[in-house]
Amino acid sequence: MNINSVLGFLKSSANMRGLAGPVLIVMILAMMVLPLPPILLDVLFTFNIAIAVMVLLISMNTTKALDFLSFPTILLMTTLLRLSLNVASTRVVLLEGHTGPDAAGKVIESFGHFLVGGNYAVGIVVFAILVVINFMVITKGAGRIAEVGARFTLDAMPGKQMAIDADLNAGLIGEDVARKRRAEISQEADFYGAMDGASKFVRGDAIAGILILFINLIGGLIVGVMQHDMDMASAAKVYTLLAIGDGLVAQIPALVISTAAGVVVSRVATDENIGEQMLGQLFRQPQVIMLTAAIIGMMGLIPGMPHFAFLLLAGAMVWLAYHLSQKTEKVAEQEQAVAAETPVITEPADASWEDVAQVDVLGLEVGYRLIALVDKAQDGDLLRRIKGIRKKFTQDIGFLPPSVHIRDNLDLRPNGYRITLKGVEVGSGEAYPHQFLAINPGNVTGELIGTPTRDPAFGLPAVWIDAALREQAQIMGYTVVDPGTVVATHLSNLISTRSAELLGRQEVQQLLEHLGKSAPKLVEDLVPKTLPLGTVQKVLQNLLDEGMHIRDMRTIVETLADNASRSQDAYQLTTLVRVALGPAIVQQYYPAEQELQVIGMDKELEHILMQAMQASQNGIGIEPGLADAVLRESRVAVEKQEQLGLPTVMLVPAQLRDLLARFLKRSVPNLRVISHDEVPDFKTIRVTALVGGTA
């Protein structure tokens, strides 16, 4: 056998389930025509009983009718199976019945002898009762319920369809959910309609059972007496028991199937099956059970009644009622405890100004894989690092920055994060938990295996590596940091460079209040008597914007108080404050040097710029060609200063400092501009690079 034949066989085996239905129909119809041996009849009658029990159990364990959509078809198939078995058994009974009660197999013999005690009169009565129960009670009731259910379902279809369309238009559900719900409504209508029709098969089966019984009785008597020379009494006994056994073995599964049909169509769809519904609702009220026990107990005390049975049942019901009452009290106590802990949900109040959401000044949003970095339960230390950043910022810059509001954002990449300032993104990046970022400072001795990237804080080339490569990366000269440090460093760099935007009027007021604890008169004389709070804020922002700290608030406030009477302009006041803070400014750029190695400006260029300022109407205009030359020369000087490893500081006359500082800020961000007035007298100056000439 080659591989193609094997694959063909497997493919045909996979399609066998599709052939099961047609093959079963053919086999059932064949049983009506072909003679069957008694042993095969026993197997098929047993199979019929097993199928009936399975259908009943499945119907009891469904939570809604649509869970058993194939039930109408199964009802038809089982009815055909019983009828075909009746035909096959009738053939055997009439052909071999004269040989004895076991002529049609052991199953029919057992039902004819064991269930009715071998008494054919009793058998006829039992059979008649089963037929009446099945035909008049169960089947008729189930059929009526199915008919009414189908009618109500069809009447409710337009309303249900409109409800689905309304939910879809309102955005409460998607197109896939709406399509599924429409299909369920259609299936429900088809199901009840099919059950209404299938119940007619069961009623017809009951009628056929009665007719088959009488046919077997009359036919058996004729065959036994006329063909096999049996006396009337013997023939009546043998064929009656065989006919009754055949009828019972068919009617009992039919009764089970009819019960299953009634269960399916009569249930109300909930999340519980039939057994859970019955036990949960029938034995829900202990008072009802206790009252029933009292009535049964009183009946048991009446003379002539079976005292033992009544009193035993009454005692059992008393015990059950007590047990249920204890359980109900325990559940009620638990519900009260939960209700006490749960806040009372009141009717929503009307919209108010309290509903207006404020934008976070500083925000950090993380993807779901980075939640562990900010979760203390998962040993995340980013919160601790952020607290350290805010404390260091306060010590270095001179004011307390706003708190960082951290939240997860599912719109971000799983490993992504972004930093927002007043709701606007100012920085973003990615961090990988359980990995390390190896940053190349420019002097590494090799390459690492990992995910190439750039350090989000300073833009240096970097690689995300596994923890196993950490020591190797350090040996090769890389700076290795963990994911929390990457995010914290990026945040620290951003709030440092944007400190001016973080200083609001609230922070300025807190600064003045803090200074007022040690110098109350100084603060009282400045704000609001001499200067408005907004002007003080603008001066402080100007200082921060040029990389200055504002830790020396006493000097700043004293300078503003001394000069506020002469000028209210924030830029002029900033210049005066810078002169007062000159030693601190120089120390910030040259911590311990006595000699200041600075970038100078050619005297002729200084003269031209001063003339341009005087000629300009607003005092800040520079001719485009001159501006381009100053910008180009400044970049060259900064590159030379950086190559020498010196601070990129330009020294200019006081009249030009403010103009050049604002002009060069965006184009040459690394350049700091100071004036001659800001340099202390005890410092010496040496020009190492020149703008507009050669040093």
Sequence ranges of the domains in the chain? 39-280, 284-332, 371-501, 503-580, 591-695
Question: What is the model's pLDDT at position 684?
Answer: 92
State whether residue 408 is helix, strand or coil: strand
Q: Across 46-60, 76-90, 125-139, 556-570, which has the greatest mean pLDDT? A: 556-570
State whether residue 645 is helix, strand or coil: coil
CB–CB of 684/595 below 8 Å?
Answer: yes
Question: What is the model's pLDDT at position 29?
Answer: 72
Question: What is the model's pLDDT at position 357?
Answer: 72
CB–CB of 100/224 below 8 Å?
Answer: no
423 Cα distance to chain centroid? 26
Higher-pLDDT residue of 464 and 148 is 464
d(CA 583, CA 588): 9
Please write the tens of the pLDDT for every residue from 421-472. Answer: 998 999 999 999 889 999 998 888 889 999 999 999 889 999 999 988 988 9
The letter for the amino acid at 106 is K
Question: What is the model's pLDDT at position 293?
Answer: 78
CB–CB of 681/645 below 8 Å?
Answer: no
Lowest mean pLDDT, pick from 115-119, 172-176, 178-182, 366-370 = 115-119
Mean pLDDT of 327-344: 67
Please, which pLDDT band fits residue 130 given cuts at 50, 70 and 90? confident
Mean pLDDT of 646-672: 90
pTM of the predicted protein model:
0.51
Percent of the chain with pLDDT over 70: 80
CB atoms within 10 A of CB 380: 18
d(CA 409, CA 374): 13
Please, which pLDDT band fits residue 14 given cuts at 50, 70 and 90? very low
Token duo for residue 411: 């719109």
d(CA 630, CA 624): 10
Say if residue 306 is exposed, middle or buried (CB neighbours under 10 Å; 0-12, 13-18, 19+): exposed
Question: What is the model's pLDDT at position 39?
Answer: 79
Question: What is the model's pLDDT at position 464?
Answer: 94
Please write the tens of the pLDDT for every residue from 510-530. Answer: 999 999 999 888 888 888 888
**438 — phi, psi (to 5°)?**
-95, 110
Beta bridge partners of 439: 462, 479
Give whole-number Cα distances, 38 to 35, 53, 85, 617, in Å.
10, 23, 11, 121
The pairing of strands 435-439 and 479-481 is antiparallel
d(CA 94, CA 85): 14
What fold characterizes domain 503-580?
Helicase, Ruva Protein; domain 3 (1.10.8)
Comparing C-alpha atoms, which of 183, 192, 181, 184 is closest to residue 154? 192
Q: What is the CATH number of domain 591-695?
A: 3.40.50.12790
The pairing of strands 649-652 and 672-675 is parallel
CB–CB of 621/609 below 8 Å?
Answer: no
d(CA 336, CA 203): 53
Question: What is the model's pLDDT at position 57?
Answer: 82
CB–CB of 492/387 below 8 Å?
Answer: no
DSSP string over 601-638: E-HHHHHHHHHHHHHSSSS----HHHHHHHHHHHHHHH
Higher-pLDDT residue of 67 and 364 is 364
* Torsion 632-648-536-578 (CA) sign: negative
Residue 528 preceded by cis peptide, ω within 30 = yes
Please, which pLDDT band fits residue 9 given cuts at 50, 70 and 90? very low
Percent of the chain with pLDDT over 90: 25
* Torsion 664-666-672-673 (CA) sign: positive
**pLDDT surpassing 70 at residue 156:** no
Interaxial angle between packed helices 624-643 and 603-615, expressed in degrees from 0 to 180 and rounded to the nearest 10: 140
Question: What is the model's pLDDT at position 511?
Answer: 92
Mean pLDDT of 660-689: 90
609 Cα distance to chain centroid? 64
The letter for the amino acid at 318 is V
**430 — phi, psi (to 5°)?**
-130, 145
Q: Encode 140-175 in three state secondary structure.
A: HHHHHHHHHHHHHHHHHHHHHHHHHHHHHHCCCCCH
Mean pLDDT of 115-144: 70
Question: What is the model's pLDDT at position 8?
Answer: 53
State whether residue 119 is helix, strand or coil: coil
Please write the tens of the pLDDT for every residue from 204-246. Answer: 777 777 777 777 777 777 877 777 777 777 777 777 777 777 7
d(CA 672, CA 661): 7
Quote helix, strand, coil % in the chain, to nearest 5: 65, 10, 25
284 Cα distance to chain centroid? 35
d(CA 120, CA 216): 13
CB–CB of 188/68 below 8 Å?
Answer: no
Give whole-number Cα distances, 300 to 308, 310, 316, 601, in Å.
8, 5, 14, 121
CB–CB of 372/433 below 8 Å?
Answer: yes
pLDDT averaged over every residue in the chain: 80
- Top CATH class of 371-501 equals alpha beta
Please write the tens of the pLDDT for every residue from 281-318. Answer: 666 677 777 888 788 788 877 877 777 777 888 788 88
Please write the tens of the pLDDT for every residue from 78-122. Answer: 878 877 887 777 777 777 766 666 666 677 777 666 655 656 677
